[in-house]
Amino acid sequence: MSKRLSKEALAEAGAGDKVTLIDHATGKQLELPVMGGTDGPKVIDIRTLYRETGYFTYDPGYTSTGSCASDLTFIDGEKGILRHRGYPIEQLAEKSDFVEVCHLLLYGELPTKAEREEFERDITYHTMLHEQLQYFYRGFRRDAHPMAIMVGVVGALSAFYHDTTDIFDREKRRTATHQLIAKMPTIAAMAYKYSIGQPFIYPRNDLGYAGNFLNMTFSVPSEEYKVSPVLARAMDQIFMLHADHEQNASTSTVRIAGSSLANPFACIAAGIASLWGPSHGGANEAVLNMLREIGSKDRIGEFIKRAKDKDDPFRLMGFGHRVYKNYDPRAGVLRKAAHEVLAELGKEDEPLLELAIELERIALEDDYFVDKKLFPNVDFYSGITLNAMGFPSSMFTVLFAVARTVGWVAQWKEMIKDEALKIGRPRQLYTGPAERDYVPMAKRK
């Protein structure tokens, strides 16, 4: 069945139905298939549009464009819903752990006991880095931003693990994805240790994923370091909450890079570069800097005013989201985690947390934020928690990258196996000069 394109026609369309676009100048009609997923709005398949009509669509920022079909993550931004493979993030954050969530994202199901043991053994097996990578670190300046080191070192993995870069070999794909998940905490902790001039700490496979990361980050060879179970659980929760978020900027970057069939290490390095920006993963670092700049509750009004001023580039960091037009469900979990971590560390009266809670309260009562549906996002409370745990703000986005690696590799793997895979190649609306003749130097003004 095919009906003229309208909201009603789309609402009624079922699988196999089409909507019709009519070019009134020529009377030509184009039938476009309607596709429906498990959940969420239906989509119009416009792949034939250019071939049949000679027109492109214009959609900077891809606000109305679905770039792929994916089984991994579902978000309903209006309702504040985030699910991985059907499981609500709140349930995963409370009942599961990061290793399980990795298995879920990569293989579609929560693991059985035997599957979990095998998966964890494999991840643990790959935690060490090639010894020569240490020399790569030593080439960086000590004051290099750890995200700069991450981009470089992860990109360099393809030089060190070249034997697993054959993306058409299923086993090699599997090894490369496990290597990336396993090595990322080691790479991140080494970036931190390098920046503070302390010796690198080797991974310990008797510790869990988050506990091992905390140990590599905070222990020193001269003293015993005991991993606090409360902090390890909080770290694990932060990893879970950042594991995947469907087609965000860094994930889309990984997919576009991978669509040329580049190796996974290079693709993940591209994802890390995209994540670094303050509109994306860099926002948690920016939130803490902003809270420090605000300094005290009596200055909140001044900053809210600035955020609303169109002539001031200042934005309330940790507020707003392209997809969520409701409370980001991850922010709710992190708000609770922030309280637990501060209680464990005896820092319940941390002024930054009090400031954040007050800022949130005032913003959520302000018409500007209410009308534009600007709610706290995942980054609003993560920085406070990580700061209390002892991480410098330059490490916040690094931790996001550690967690998001599983999302990136799971999405990359899904894309490589997708029959609809095509190299990512958007078109453009050209707005430069029309054709003109070459001007010799002597005649240029």
Residues acting as catalytic residues: 321, 379
Give the single-character DSSP code of 133. Answer: H
Nearest to 402 by CA among 180, 199, 247: 180
By beta-carbon proximity to ligand CMC, the closer residue of 193 and 245 is 245
Q: Kindly state the smallest distance separating residue 179's Cβ from ligand CMC, in Å.
A: 25
What are the backbone angles phi and psi of residue 341, rounded to the nearest 5°? Answer: -65, -45
Binding site for ligand CMC (CB under 6 A): 248, 279-281, 283, 307, 315-322, 372, 374, 377-379
Nearest residue relative to ligand CMC (C-beta)? 320
CB atoms near residue 21 (< 10 Å): 17
- In Å, how far are 157, 296, 340, 352 from 348, measured between CA atoms? 41, 17, 9, 10
Q: Kindly state the smallest distance separating residue 331's Cβ from ligand CMC, in Å.
A: 9
Residue with tokens 């930054």: 352
Q: Kindly state the smallest distance separating residue 82's Cβ from ligand CMC, in Å.
A: 12
CA–CA gap between residue 98 and residue 235 (Å, rounded): 9
Task: Name the packing angle between helices 283-294 and 396-417 (round to 10°).
Answer: 160
Contact 374, 307 (CB under 8 A): no
By beta-carbon proximity to ligand CMC, the closer residue of 1 and 370 is 370
Q: Kindly state the smallest distance separating residue 227's Cβ from ligand CMC, in Å.
A: 28
CA–CA gap between residue 136 and residue 160 (Å, rounded): 11
CA count, 13 A, side-chain hemisphere, 352: 20
Q: Kindly state the smallest distance separating residue 285's Cβ from ligand CMC, in Å.
A: 11
Q: Give me the sheet containing 87-88, strands edge to edge.
A: 73-76, 81-84, 87-88
Nearest to 20 by CA among 35, 37, 1, 36: 1
The structure tokens listed for 11 are 């609402």
Q: Kindly state the smallest distance separating residue 222's Cβ from ligand CMC, in Å.
A: 38
The continuous run of DSSP H or E covering 355 comes out as helix 351-364
